[in-house]
Chains A and B, each alone.
Chain A
């Protein structure tokens, strides 16, 4: 609850700073201060178990420990995002305070999603997250691709939200309630109406997390949007969508698990195959990362599929590992004019520290041991094995992980084994280098000792 209110207030504050503060660095600092404040409030709520505000939400919002840990991961990722890409947010639009304000409003929506106990709140939260995102995607107004991305994102997003609303209506019609608990109690036997509602909600959630076959918008939007916001969409927003997916299907539709399980298994299989195989053929790192985000979504789908304790713990770990690693790569990519793989040629010689950090991020995405990505994938596989009788899916997932090595390692090969071809050497500030080092260290700490996150839940 703290997070919702403080981020909304801070968002308004950020809007007005644009009038009084001219220095972009100061605006950046104010935003970072806001995130730090949010983290502190969130930790306070986690430890004391009480919100600073007592608001009667009629039981529609309740932040469990799981939700608070999730929020904490999101807030820390956002902090890393501000630290790594702050200067690029400043450069993205005419008034960076507006952009920061939008991000804080998104965080407010994330706070709602983290604690929804009613479908209304789910809808509200997702909309609060989505609408500022459409604006961010189109924030590079003079760029046609950015405009196209924003429009595409908006159309697809509203279409999927429409599907969700229809699904919610059908479920409400059947169970007579918006509350998750009541729905769960009412959904023990599958009737056609429930099935239709469930299917619509499933499709719309698949849209939001860009799972196949609802993934088509992802590469275009990720590619077209300003890189600095692609980074935000591909990591933090994706995690939120997955959290909502898990929370909804666990707490509202958990009783029908056996009925929708196979459908989700097929979606996971398709997502894994399409994401990984298409990523192999990409020449641009930005587009490759878009497909990689689909591929990683395939792995995260395994958690939705299995819904056991490993799945829930592992998904949080996955959010942290995947977000931090992807943010690190994007932060470097933003600073490059050229997004092709060749742009990375010889980076280890011109910028060894940056190359090392990107290397750690890539190894984590590929799921190599001693990085966060390994334990994330490990938990996903374990969760499915726990369910039994889905070994075919596990084997496919493992093969896909092997395929993913190919496209992640192409960047590594370019950085380490090829000679520099860029005539213009990239300049990175020393602050940025330190941030990249911290990013890499975070990944390795999570890879050596994932208990840091797991013991919280």
Chain B
């Protein structure tokens, strides 16, 4: 086979990495934007091509493994299975749309801005594709560093403190994950970091317990799960909105993804032992975050808390380790990425034009921007998981799994759906309808590329809502593999 074909998954790493490094040397803002669009588009094409080869035996899905550190037995192992392709698709779409949307002159030193964004994308692909624990860890950090700089250089007034808090939280979590990785590596007798060799380790229950927590805390901080969520609202509020979008749409999925790829297969005993208590805490977190969201006046903070609630639900879905719930979570990870991206883009449009993020200072925007209002309503309805939107299917399946697990948890967590309707619809009402503020008279509706972006997002919301079957075909085998140790 041609070398280039064998190396297909690795293209996803090289394209944004090369594009990002190249962007540092560009002088002109427009050039950097074009560069970012080209490289993100080509990685989108790579992902789309890989989607057409869903057969299990196809070479595009083969794992690739490059020799890297032979002396310590770490190989640069990558895989493009169902899980990865779902997340890679989300990453590719979101970054492409963001690059289309940001005006080149929006941020000074645009070349660096786009460069760091592309490097973030590289890190994300790496996290989703890695089959080698050390490589996973490297990309986990690699995704964090550029985002830290993006948020701290171009962020709001209190950015330095907020983003540093975010950085410290994530870094501390990942250090414990590193410890657990080293421990298991040591148990393989220094032979391998691969997921497969970790999978075959047969750790005892008490080992699994602490290893589970070392991994879980890293992932829970990233998601973030109550009560480790305190970095999030501040970081979202202070980051520039395109960065917040990437953070909440793709980056928090790293935590959920890590649960699926590493925690579920490796620590079945620990998951079975701790899941009830974690689920209880997480359900409290969901209701708490929803209630806080209702009382938020800042759009960015509202979306942030809404995100905490939704992610919490997905975490519960994973911990029930029911096939249907886990499949629902995967679908919902994709959906939530799309929906919240749409919400953030609306917030970004409003903030860019008016500089206002407080809901109480907005109102009646629908009269000035009817098209934006339509898209916003669709995105919001998807956020509330209305039937025929994408989120309905995902949340329905998650709740189905949770119900099989325990009906009381399902009922309690179900409150979040009601609350999410309250805060989302309230936001629409207060921002787009009602009395129009004089400061907003010059508000212009979306046009051109912006409409295109929204059309793509809306199409995805509705398409997945009507016909999600291709997704299940793509990842149900992979989910089955993850849950092997639970079914026997």
Task: Report which A residues bind B (CB closer than 8 A).
Answer: 363, 368-370, 378, 381-382, 385-386, 394-395, 398-399, 401-402, 405-406, 409, 413, 416-418, 449-451, 454-455
CA distance A292 to B451 in the complex (A): 53
Name the prevailing secondary structure of the A interface residues: helix
The residue that A382 contacts in the complex, of B142, B159, B186, with Cβ under 8 A, is B186
CA distance A395 to B214 in the complex (A): 11
Determine if B182 and A402 form an interchain contact, defined as CB atoms under 8 angstroms apart: no
Q: Which residues of B contact A368 (CB under 8 A)?
A: 141, 145
Taking each of B145, B167, B178, which has the highest tally of chain A beta carbons within 10 Å of its own beta carbon? B178
CA distance A401 to B179 in the complex (A): 12
B438 within 8 A of A: no
Taking each of B153, B164, B167, B176, which has the highest tally of chain A beta carbons within 10 Å of its own beta carbon? B164
Closest to A398 in B: B175
Q: Which residues of B contact A418 (CB under 8 A)?
A: 160
Within B158-206, the residues touching A (CB, 8 Å) are 159-160, 164, 167-168, 171-172, 175-176, 178-179, 182-183, 185-186
The residue that B168 contacts in the complex, of A382, A398, A406, with Cβ under 8 A, is A406
Kindly provide the distance from the CB of B68 to the nearest chain A CB, expressed in whole angstroms: 8
CA distance A416 to B171 in the complex (A): 20
Determine if A451 and B70 form an interchain contact, defined as CB atoms under 8 angstroms apart: yes
Closest to A457 in B: B71
The residue that A401 contacts in the complex, of B137, B167, B175, B182, with Cβ under 8 A, is B175
Q: Which residues of B contact A416 (CB under 8 A)?
A: 149, 152-153
Task: Report which B residues bind A (CB closer than 8 A).
Answer: 69-72, 137-138, 141-142, 145, 149, 152-153, 159-160, 164, 167-168, 171-172, 175-176, 178-179, 182-183, 185-186
* CB<8 Å pairs between A and B, sample of 25: A368-B145, A369-B138, A369-B141, A370-B142, A378-B182, A381-B178, A381-B179, A385-B183, A398-B178, A398-B179, A399-B175, A401-B175, A402-B168, A405-B167, A405-B168, A405-B171, A406-B168, A409-B164, A413-B164, A416-B152, A417-B160, A450-B69, A451-B70, A454-B72, A455-B71
CA distance A413 to B162 in the complex (A): 12
CA distance A417 to B155 in the complex (A): 10
Q: Which residues of B contact A370 (CB under 8 A)?
A: 138, 141-142
Q: Which residues of B contact A395 (CB under 8 A)?
A: 179
The residue that B69 contacts in the complex, of A369, A394, A399, A449, with Cβ under 8 A, is A449
Q: Which residues of A contact B186 (CB under 8 A)?
A: 382, 385-386
Determine if B71 and A454 form an interchain contact, defined as CB atoms under 8 angstroms apart: yes
Determine if A402 and B175 form an interchain contact, defined as CB atoms under 8 angstroms apart: yes
CA distance A363 to B145 in the complex (A): 10
Taking each of A369, A370, A399, A450, which has the highest tally of chain B beta carbons within 10 Å of its own beta carbon? A369
Closest 5 CB pairs of A and B: A369-B138, A369-B141, A398-B175, A402-B172, A417-B152
Q: Which residues of B contact A409 (CB under 8 A)?
A: 164, 167
Kindly provide the distance from the CB of A60 to the nearest chain B CB, expressed in whole angstroms: 32
Q: Which residues of A contact B164 (CB under 8 A)?
A: 409, 413
CA distance A399 to B176 in the complex (A): 9
Kindly provide the distance from the CB of B289 to the nearest chain A CB, expressed in whole angstroms: 26
The residue that A398 contacts in the complex, of B70, B72, B142, B176, with Cβ under 8 A, is B176
Q: Which residues of A contact B145 (CB under 8 A)?
A: 363, 368
CA distance A409 to B183 in the complex (A): 28
CA distance A455 to B178 in the complex (A): 24
Determine if B70 and A402 form an interchain contact, defined as CB atoms under 8 angstroms apart: no
Closest to A418 in B: B160
Q: Which residues of A contact B179 (CB under 8 A)?
A: 381, 385, 394-395, 398
CA distance A416 to B142 in the complex (A): 18
Kindly provide the distance from the CB of A91 to the nearest chain B CB, expressed in whole angstroms: 34
Q: Which residues of A contact B142 (CB under 8 A)?
A: 369-370
Q: Which residues of B contact A413 (CB under 8 A)?
A: 152, 160, 164
Closest to B175 in A: A398
Other contacts beyond A370-B141, A378-B182, A402-B172: 17, CB < 8 A:
A369-B137, A369-B142, A370-B138, A382-B185, A382-B186, A385-B182, A386-B186, A398-B175, A401-B175, A406-B168, A409-B164, A409-B167, A413-B164, A417-B159, A418-B160, A449-B69, A454-B71
CA distance A455 to B179 in the complex (A): 24
Closest to A402 in B: B172
Kindly provide the distance from the CB of B212 to the nearest chain A CB, expressed in whole angstroms: 15
Kindly provide the distance from the CB of B192 to the nearest chain A CB, expressed in whole angstroms: 14
CA distance A368 to B179 in the complex (A): 14
CA distance A427 to B71 in the complex (A): 43
Kindly provide the distance from the CB of A451 to the nearest chain B CB, expressed in whole angstroms: 5
Kindly provide the distance from the CB of B484 to the nearest chain A CB, expressed in whole angstroms: 28
CA distance A299 to B71 in the complex (A): 22
Q: Which residues of B contact A406 (CB under 8 A)?
A: 168
Q: Which residues of B contact A369 (CB under 8 A)?
A: 137-138, 141-142
CA distance A278 to B205 in the complex (A): 39
CA distance A370 to B145 in the complex (A): 11
Closest to B184 in A: A385
Determine if A417 and B70 form an interchain contact, defined as CB atoms under 8 angstroms apart: no
Determine if A417 and B153 form an interchain contact, defined as CB atoms under 8 angstroms apart: yes
Closest to A401 in B: B175
Kindly provide the distance from the CB of A312 to the nearest chain B CB, expressed in whole angstroms: 13
Q: Which residues of B contact A398 (CB under 8 A)?
A: 175-176, 178-179
Determine if A382 and B182 form an interchain contact, defined as CB atoms under 8 angstroms apart: yes
CA distance A398 to B179 in the complex (A): 8
Kindly provide the distance from the CB of A257 to the nearest chain B CB, expressed in whole angstroms: 19
Kindly provide the distance from the CB of B172 to the nearest chain A CB, expressed in whole angstroms: 5
Kindly provide the distance from the CB of A104 to the nearest chain B CB, expressed in whole angstroms: 34
Q: Which residues of A contact B178 (CB under 8 A)?
A: 378, 381, 398
CA distance A385 to B176 in the complex (A): 13
Q: Which residues of B contact A455 (CB under 8 A)?
A: 71
Q: Which residues of B contact A386 (CB under 8 A)?
A: 186
Kindly provide the distance from the CB of B336 to the nearest chain A CB, expressed in whole angstroms: 28
CA distance A395 to B183 in the complex (A): 12
CA distance A401 to B172 in the complex (A): 9
Determine if B171 and A402 form an interchain contact, defined as CB atoms under 8 angstroms apart: yes
CA distance A363 to B141 in the complex (A): 12
CA distance A394 to B176 in the complex (A): 10
Q: Which residues of A contact B167 (CB under 8 A)?
A: 405, 409
Kindly provide the distance from the CB of B144 to the nearest chain A CB, expressed in whole angstroms: 9
CA distance A415 to B178 in the complex (A): 29
Kindly provide the distance from the CB of A437 to the nearest chain B CB, expressed in whole angstroms: 13
CA distance A61 to B312 in the complex (A): 64
Closest to B173 in A: A402
CA distance A449 to B137 in the complex (A): 16
CA distance A400 to B291 in the complex (A): 37
CA distance A176 to B333 in the complex (A): 71
Q: Which residues of B contact A417 (CB under 8 A)?
A: 152-153, 159-160
Kindly provide the distance from the CB of B214 to the nearest chain A CB, expressed in whole angstroms: 10
Closest to A368 in B: B141
CA distance A416 to B151 in the complex (A): 11
CA distance A409 to B166 in the complex (A): 13
Kindly provide the distance from the CB of B234 to the nearest chain A CB, expressed in whole angstroms: 16
Determine if B69 and A451 form an interchain contact, defined as CB atoms under 8 angstroms apart: yes
Q: Which residues of B contact A385 (CB under 8 A)?
A: 179, 182-183, 186
CA distance A418 to B159 in the complex (A): 11
Determine if B182 and A381 form an interchain contact, defined as CB atoms under 8 angstroms apart: yes
CA distance A417 to B154 in the complex (A): 9
Closest to A453 in B: B71
CA distance A385 to B164 in the complex (A): 30
Kindly provide the distance from the CB of B278 to the nearest chain A CB, expressed in whole angstroms: 21
Closest to B172 in A: A402
Q: Which residues of A contact B185 (CB under 8 A)?
A: 382
Closest to B187 in A: A385
Kindly provide the distance from the CB of A372 to the nearest chain B CB, expressed in whole angstroms: 13
CA distance A395 to B213 in the complex (A): 13
